[in-house]
């Protein structure tokens, strides 16, 4: 390990501080300040703040020209009440670091300490603390920010902890590893009337009922191959909670999920066709909008090869042939592949560990040393 036990203990304490003070997507201002203050102690050559919102990057320059390797972690927590009894549980009502992003930030902070003590021989190592991963907005905002242009990497690497896999064991494969998904919000608008004279209004009742069935039937929820699709209705509302009013508006929220971006485009077209057909049949106005848009996450062969070499040299067990990958869950890191080869590996958090987004989830501190060793080895192998 490139850090002392004392240094790792300090980073574990920082992780617990982050865990006690979660902020959700787009609101990570205090988290970013905490990270920035801690990064400054490692004396990076530059800290670039305010990227894509509250994101920030620490840059460690080598003595000679060379490629740029970027390691990415996430700043945000979740709008979920933590029910854990751990001493460092969330102090913010209704919010918690229940996906492990506090641990991912701690891993990058370990890298910051190591890079501060010994710069790369060439090129640049960039530690990117990205905002708003949980709602899918963060990576796109970082890439669109003019400040990112001067940081553009030649390779991007990331990880995610993975409960259900034995502690410290890694899953890594080329190709698709996370699904594309998006939240589809449908608003059907008619005209209210008195409940005793429903014929005097235009109610979206039947259109809504048909769409609940038709949208769900669009998905096959089959094997995770090119034809995989899933539509999950997550929320529906019809009219107002009153007995005297025939409804004039309905809302349906549904999550669309596919393995690839091309399949998502087809699914969106089919879903919108169903919505428009029911709106016409019911003489309704309709509005369709999208939130929480995630592109597919695809691991580049070159980046996977570098990670595999690092895992082998660090003696960390790993496998590529597993039915746990690709995952149905989404991840916005895949967007960074639009500028350079990119890969994410999945680090086991324990077979019996609380699952991601469970209200009692807590990141295992044992993973800080393992994750940072893999990334540091990959950095040294590429940059010296």
Which pair of structure tokens corresponds to residue 155? 């390779």
Which CATH number applies to 5-178+296-383? 3.40.630.10
177-214 confidence digits (pLDDT tens)? 999 999 999 999 999 999 999 999 999 999 999 999 99
Each of the 384 residues of the chain gets a pLDDT tens digit; together they read 899 999 999 999 999 999 999 999 999 999 999 999 999 999 999 999 999 999 999 999 999 999 999 999 999 999 999 999 999 999 999 999 999 999 999 999 999 999 999 999 999 999 999 999 999 999 999 999 999 999 999 999 999 999 999 999 999 999 999 999 999 999 999 999 999 999 999 999 999 999 999 999 999 999 999 999 999 999 999 999 999 999 999 999 999 999 999 999 999 999 999 999 999 999 999 999 999 999 999 999 999 999 999 999 999 999 999 999 999 999 999 999 999 999 999 999 999 999 999 999 999 999 999 999 999 999 999 999
92: nearest Cα among 80, 103, 100: 80
What's the fold here for domain 180-294? Alpha-Beta Plaits (3.30.70)
> Maximum Cα–Cα distance for the chain, whole Å?
80
Structure pTM? 0.93
Instruction: Tell me the sheet residues that pair with 74.
Output: 130
Question: Could you tell me where the beta strands, DSSP code E, fall in the chain?
Answer: 46-51, 55-61, 64-74, 122-130, 155-162, 170-171, 175-178, 180-189, 193-194, 229-238, 245-246, 249-258, 285-294, 297-299, 318-319, 342-348
Domain ranges of the chain: 5-178+296-383, 180-294
CA 289/CA 268 separation, integer angstroms: 11
Burial bucket for residue 235 (CB in 10 Å: 0-12, 13-18, 19+):
exposed
| Beta carbons of 40 and 84 less than 8 angstroms apart | no
Buried b (16+ CB within 10 A) or exposed e, 264-293: beebbebbeebbeebbeebebebeeeeebb
Which pair of structure tokens corresponds to residue 11? 């980073």
293-310 confidence digits (pLDDT tens)? 999 999 999 999 999 999
298-353 confidence digits (pLDDT tens)? 999 999 999 999 999 999 999 999 999 999 999 999 999 999 999 999 999 999 99
CA 383/CA 381 separation, integer angstroms: 6
Q: What is the dihedral of CA 89, 349, 138, 308, to 10 degrees?
A: 150
């Amino acid at each position: 390990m490139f850090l002392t036990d004392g240094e790792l203990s300090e980073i574990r304490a920082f992780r617990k501080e982050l865990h006690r003070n979660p902020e959700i997507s787009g609101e990570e201002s205090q988290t970013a300040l905490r990270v920035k203050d801690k990064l400054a102690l490692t004396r990076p050559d530059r800290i670039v703040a305010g990227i894509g919102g509250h994101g920030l990057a620490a840059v460690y320059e080598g003595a000679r020209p060379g490629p740029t390797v970027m390691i990415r972690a996430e700043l945000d927590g979740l709008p979920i009440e933590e029910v854990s009894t751990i001493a460092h549980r969330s102090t913010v009502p209704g919010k918690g670091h229940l996906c492990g992003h506090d641990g991912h930030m701690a891993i990058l902070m370990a890298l910051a300490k190591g890079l501060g003590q010994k710069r790369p021989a060439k090129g640049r190592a960039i530690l990117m603390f990205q905002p708003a991963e949980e709602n899918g907005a963060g990576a796109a905002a970082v890439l669109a920010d003019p400040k990112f242009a001067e940081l553009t990497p030649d390779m991007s690497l990331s990880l995610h902890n993975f409960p259900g896999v034995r502690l410290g064991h890694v899953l890594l494969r080329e190709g698709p590893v996370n699904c594309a998904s998006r939240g589809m919000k449908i608003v059907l608008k008619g005209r209210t009337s008195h409940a005793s004279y429903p014929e005097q209004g235009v109610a979206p009742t039947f259109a809504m009922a048909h769409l609940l069935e038709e949208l769900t039937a669009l998905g096959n929820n089959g094997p995770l191959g090119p034809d995989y699709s899933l539509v999950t209705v997550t929320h529906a509302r019809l009219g107002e909670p009153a007995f005297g009013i025939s409804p004039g508006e309905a809302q349906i929220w549904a999550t669309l999920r596919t393995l690839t971006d091309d399949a998502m485009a087809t699914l969106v077209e089919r879903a919108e066709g169903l919505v428009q057909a029911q709106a016409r049949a019911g003489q309704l106005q309709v509005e369709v909008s999208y939130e929480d848009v995630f592109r597919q996450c695809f691991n580049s062969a070159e980046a996977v090869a570098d990670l595999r070499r690092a895992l082998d040299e660090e003696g960390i067990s790993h496998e590529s042939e597993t039915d746990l990958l690709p995952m149905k869950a989404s991840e916005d890191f895949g967007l960074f592949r639009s500028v350079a080869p990119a890969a994410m590996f999945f680090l086991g958090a324990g077979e019996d560990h609380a699952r991601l987004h469970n209200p009692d989830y807590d990141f295992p501190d044992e993973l800080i040393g393992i994750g940072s060793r893999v990334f540091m080895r990959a950095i040294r192998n590429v940059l010296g």
